[in-house]
Amino acid sequence: MSRKKVLVTRKIPEEGIKKLLEHFDVEVNELDRVFTYEELKKKVKGKDGVLCQLADTIDRELMDIEPNIKIFANYAVGYNNMDIEAAKERNIYLTNTPDVLTDATADLAWALLFAVARRVVEGDKYIRNDKFTAWSPKLLLGKDVSGRTLGIIGTGRIGRAFGKRGKSFNMKILYYNRSRKKEFEKETGAQFVSFEEVLKKSDYISLHTPLTKDTKHMIGDNEFNIMKKEAILINTSRGPVVDEKALVKALKYKKIWGAGLDVYENEPKVEKELKELDNVVLCPHIGSATDETRTKMSVMAADNIIAALNGKKPLNCIN
């Protein structure tokens, strides 16, 4: 019997590929870029499973290209790039990579928070531009982190991991989520409050919601008007959760103090004006980008494909 065929849409760590090769014929995108939608359609033809990533649009049209397709395994925890309803109708499994990237993403949110609050990137530029001539009492004054109020919007796995780290900085934690998380409250002393209260009372606001039709532009002009002038916004979730034009205005006209971003509304495009502002720190969607985490993600995505193509329900099925 001929081996089943799997497409991997970007190069991922070897461990995942090796696992797939034990079972299937595997074609890996060797280009150092995302497939265009047209290329993806061609490549999906004749495959039984696809290990895809968040810039691949997995929609009805693509699902109909190949009747044998059993699974699209996303190499990410977020899955707003996939049409869940369409997959259900066609009995195609969709999977993601939860848990293994929780800590790495929560850490990156903190890296951004500190980088903005303590002006780390401005400091680095200052030195490289040979401006550091003497210690100065008022040079690059930032904001305290310890003891201040941390607002979390979305307390799924990553939001909670982010909050636990805040407790060790003695922060008061406020959170808004669809449902109350009592265990999280016990562990961190966090208070479950309204969306408005998080915005109004927090010194730091970190977004950890998935992107859905309800969370698109959840943070826009109105929300920036409610936030403190001292507030710092961190987004490691999905870009369109924030209205980026409103964010530019808020940063430019100092409605808020700063922002740290890992995700953008029209990724990989980043608003030109954002790049011109000093009170924002920008990362290129690297929330889960550590050797260890990306390796675990590759194995998890491979395991999901192996299960699906052997007639079993994959462990991380989202539909």
Catalytic status, residue 39: no
Closest contact distance (angstroms) between CB of 288 and ligand DGY is 4
Work out which of 52, 76, 109, 281 binds ligand DGY, going by CB under 6 A. Answer: 76
CA distance 33 to 52: 13
Work out which of 16, 78, 154, 239 binds ligand DGY, going by CB under 6 A. Answer: 78
Does 62 help bind ligand DGY (rule: CB under 6 A)? no
List the x/- string, 85-124, binding to ligand DGY by CB under 6 A: ----------------x-----------------------
Closest listed residue to residue 295, CA positions, set 9, 104, 81: 104
List binders of ligand DGY among 207-246 (CB under 6 A).
Answer: none
CB-nearer residue toward ligand DGY: 65 or 317:
317
Q: Where are the alpha helices (DSSP H) in the chain?
A: 14-23, 37-44, 60-63, 84-89, 102-117, 120-128, 157-167, 182-188, 195-201, 221-226, 244-252, 272-276, 291-309
Residue range at the interface with ligand DGY (CB under 6 A); choices 74-82, 138-146, 223-231, 247-255: 74-82
CB-nearer residue toward ligand DGY: 177 or 288:
288
Q: Which of 238, 244, 265, 294 is catalytic?
A: 238
CB-nearer residue toward ligand DGY: 112 or 250:
112
In order of 14, 33, 49, 176, 211, the CA distances from 155 in angstroms are 32, 33, 32, 7, 14
Q: Which of 15, 27, 267, 271 is catalytic?
A: 267
Q: How far is CA 278 from the centre of its chain?
A: 23
Contacts of residues 46-49 at CB distance under 8 Å and 24 or more positions apart, as own/partner, are 46/5, 47/5, 47/6, 47/7, 48/4, 48/5, 48/6, 48/24, 48/309, 49/4, 49/5, 49/6, 49/7, 49/24, 49/73, 49/305, 49/308, 49/309
Closest contact distance (angstroms) between CB of 108 and ligand DGY is 9
Centre a 10 Å sphere on the Cβ of residue 21 and count the other Cβ atoms it contains: 15
Catalytic status, residue 38: no
Work out which of 77, 190, 218, 307 binds ligand DGY, going by CB under 6 A. Answer: 77
CB-nearer residue toward ligand DGY: 101 or 232:
101
Classified as helix, coil or strand, 62 is helix
# of chain residues touching ligand DGY (CB under 6 A): 8
Residues 6+ apart with CB under 8 A from 251: 258, 259, 274, 277, 279, 280
Catalytic status, residue 285: yes
Judge whether 233 and 247 are in contact, CB under 8 Å. Answer: yes
Does 82 help bind ligand DGY (rule: CB under 6 A)? no
List the x/- string, 248-287, binding to ligand DGY by CB under 6 A: -------------------------------------x-x
Closest contact distance (angstroms) between CB of 261 and ligand DGY is 12
Residue type, 176: Y
Does 16 help bind ligand DGY (rule: CB under 6 A)? no
**Residues annotated as catalytic (active site), given as ranges:** 238, 267, 285
Residues of this chain that interact with ligand DGY (CB under 6 A) are 54, 76-78, 101, 285, 287-288
